[in-house]
Amino acid sequence: MPMSPAEIQQLRDLMEYEAARTAPPEGFPALPDIPAGRYVDPRYYQLELDHVWRKSWLLAGHIDEIPEPGCFRLWENAGQPVVLVHAEGGAINAFYNTCSHRGAPVVTEESGKKKRLTCQYHGWSYSHEGELMAIRDPEDFRDLDFSCRGLKEVRCERFGNLIFVNFDEEAPTLLDWLGPIAAEWEEFQFDKCRLAARHVWDLDCNWKIAMEANTEVYHVRSIHPKTVSPILDDRRNVNTLYLNGHGRMVAPVPAGDRGNLDAVGVPDDVVQIDTVGEIARTCTQSYGLFPNLVAPLSAAAIPPILFWPNGIDKCRMETWTMAPDWGDGVAPDLWTDNNGESLCQVLLEDTQFGEKIQKSMESYGFKGVPLSYQEVRIYHWNQAADQCIGIENVPEELRVQQVIGDEWIYPNDPRLAFVSAEVPARQASPERP
């Protein structure tokens, strides 16, 4: 369900409001500095591992990577050994890749297809549902209960063709976690998008430093003068904050109503998602899904970028391109040159300062980060991170103050008092994704 005309008008009005304002909106709080320790202090890094990475829904894979029953794929981006399995009945399951006998991996290849997952250490074998099916020399075990020696499951849910996992048995469902974003994403048909490209890049900085370059448009005129700036009117950018730390930016192309596909030179004959509405066709729109997914969306491609910690001062950036079926044509790859040989110019620009910023954060001289209203999504993320960790668990000197109140969280938005009449919040339709 694309945005209604009233919603579109409201968003357009908000863009004009942003362009015209001469200060942050009335009532918007001053944002206290983000303590530099959150990027360099091992205590905060450990809290992130124990809470943020453990309790959040994380994008782990795409159905195209395990398209048929029996297909499996290893996934260790969040530090835990996980295997994703396409089961006989069509379900996608996730398990710790850990044999219930003595912990050897039940899968050693990156990916493949198997009838059973058989541990190579002593031969225990498991079904695609994780049940222990057979062991060698069962007569030598006394009272081994097969029913409680299966593979340990990891929560796994799909949003269309995307496969998400969560290590927390108590976590809300993926749809609850996404909240209103699930309805907003319906027009992109995630159940039809194919995976065209997925690449990994190792960067020498804390993962949040890398991600934050993709969580604000304040930097656009400085580091993207020739690439992004001509196609993104940053003064008309509208940020929206959602529950659970998610956020969205929408900014028109500077010339007004020219489609963003024209602006970035996407050829006319490229396959487009026919249900995508006006905003995604005429604006740059990107979502931040807590904790680590930046998801630009357009009518021609869905190219999310993900950030994973790889130690406190190193991270792994993944670039994906998803698109409607491109038939026999060349699979599109928005973020790299020569099929993953190097990052594209825009991402080279975005990642250029990471290592140096990390050094600054580690220096005696750097104490904290002052953020502007334009960078509000970064602050919102940090508030959500502390909430996820448990505010009292965060050492006081590493905390962010919870200054952005619920009145700024969708569907609340004090800016609406300055623009057109109220528009009802969208509901997810039950049949999608």
Q: 416 contacts which partner out of ligand FES, Fe ion, none, CB within 5 to 8 A by kind?
A: none
Distances (CA, A) of 4 to 13, 154, 360, 403, 420: 14, 38, 46, 32, 14
Neighbour tally for 128: CB within 10 Å:
23
Selected from 216, 350, 375, 386, the binder of Fe ion by CB under 5 A is 350
Question: For residues 29 and 105, which CB has a smaller minimum distance to ligand FES in the complex?
Answer: 105
Of 223 and 391, nearer to Fe ion (C-beta) is 223
First to last CA, the chain: 11
Select from 100-108, 268-276, 375-383, 422-430 the region that touches ligand FES (CB under 6 A): 100-108
In whole angstroms, how close is the CB of 179 to ligand FES at the nearest point?
A: 41
Residue 241 Cβ, how far from Fe ion at the closest point, in Å?
A: 20
Q: How many CA atoms lie less than 13 Å away from 254 in the CB half-sphere?
A: 12
101 near ligand FES, rule: CB under 6 A: yes
**Does 99 participate in binding ligand FES (rule CB under 6 A)?**
yes
Nearer to ligand FES, 103 or 405 (CB): 103
Residue 121's binding partner among Fe ion, ligand FES, none (Cβ under 5 to 8 angstroms by kind) is ligand FES
- Single out the residue of 109, 116, 121, 420 in contact with ligand FES (rule: CB under 6 A): 121
Residue count, binding to ligand FES (CB under 6 A): 10
Interacting residues of 157 by C-beta distance below 8 A, sequence separation 6+: 57, 164, 166, 173, 174, 175
Cα–Cα distances in angstroms (integers) from residue 175 to residues 159, 246, 409, in the given order:
8, 13, 18
**Interacting span for Fe ion (CB under 5 A) from 64-72, 126-134, 168-176, 345-353:** 345-353
- Partner whose footprint covers residue 350, from Fe ion, ligand FES, none (CB < 5 to 8 Å by kind): Fe ion
Considering beta carbons, is residue 54 or 149 the nearer one to ligand FES?
Answer: 149
The listed partner (ligand FES, Fe ion, none) that binds 112, CB under 5 to 8 Å by sort, is none
Tokens 């398990």 belong to residue:
95
Residue of the chain from 39, 57, 124, 207 that contacts ligand FES (CB under 6 A) = 124
Q: Which residue from 385, 362, 396, 399 is spatially nearest to 32, judged by alpha carbons?
A: 399
The letter for the amino acid at 329 is G
Which span (158-166, 231-239, 350-358, 424-432) binds Fe ion, by CB under 5 A?
Answer: 350-358
- HSE at residue 388, side-chain half, CA atoms within 13 A, is 28
We find the least distance from the C-beta atom of residue 117 to ligand FES, in angstroms, to be: 10
Region near Fe ion per CB under 5 A, out of 3-11, 135-143, 342-350, 383-391: 342-350
Residue 224 CB, shortest distance to Fe ion, in Å, is 6
Contacting residue, 87, 104, 391, 419, with ligand FES by CB under 6 A: 104
Cα–Cα distance between 32 and 304 in angstroms, integer?
30
Nearer to ligand FES, 104 or 423 (CB): 104
Strand partners, 306: 293, 318
Question: 3-state class of 232 per DSSP?
Answer: coil
Residue 344 binds which of ligand FES, Fe ion, none (CB < 5-8 A, kind-dependent) = none
Nearest CB to ligand FES, comparing residues 121 and 141? 121
DSSP string, 114-142: -SSEE-TTT--EE-TT--EEE-S-GGGSS
Contact pick of 113, 115, 116, 122 for ligand FES (by CB under 6 A): 122
Alpha carbons 312 and 367: distance in angstroms, whole number: 17
CA dist., res. 33 & res. 367, Å (int): 8
* 16: exposed, middle or buried (Cβ count in 10 Å: 0-12, 13-18, 19+): middle
Counts of helices then strands in the chain (DSSP H, E):
13, 21
| Shortest Cβ 61–ligand FES spacing (Å) | 24
* Binding range to ligand FES, per CB under 6 A, among 10-18, 78-86, 114-122, 288-296: 114-122
Q: Is the dihedral of CA 369, 373, 377, 382 positive or negative?
A: positive
Least Cβ distance, residue 350 to ligand FES (angstroms) = 43
The interface region with ligand FES, picked from 8-16, 101-109, 258-266, 291-299 by CB under 6 A, is: 101-109
Nearer to ligand FES, 103 or 311 (CB): 103
Six-digit token string for 161: 């063709």
What sign has the CA pseudo-torsion 275, 255, 296, 335? Answer: positive
Q: Does 152 bind ligand FES (CB under 6 A)?
A: no
Q: List residues near ligand FES by CB under 6 A.
A: 99, 101-104, 119, 121-124
Q: List residues near Fe ion by CB under 5 A.
A: 350
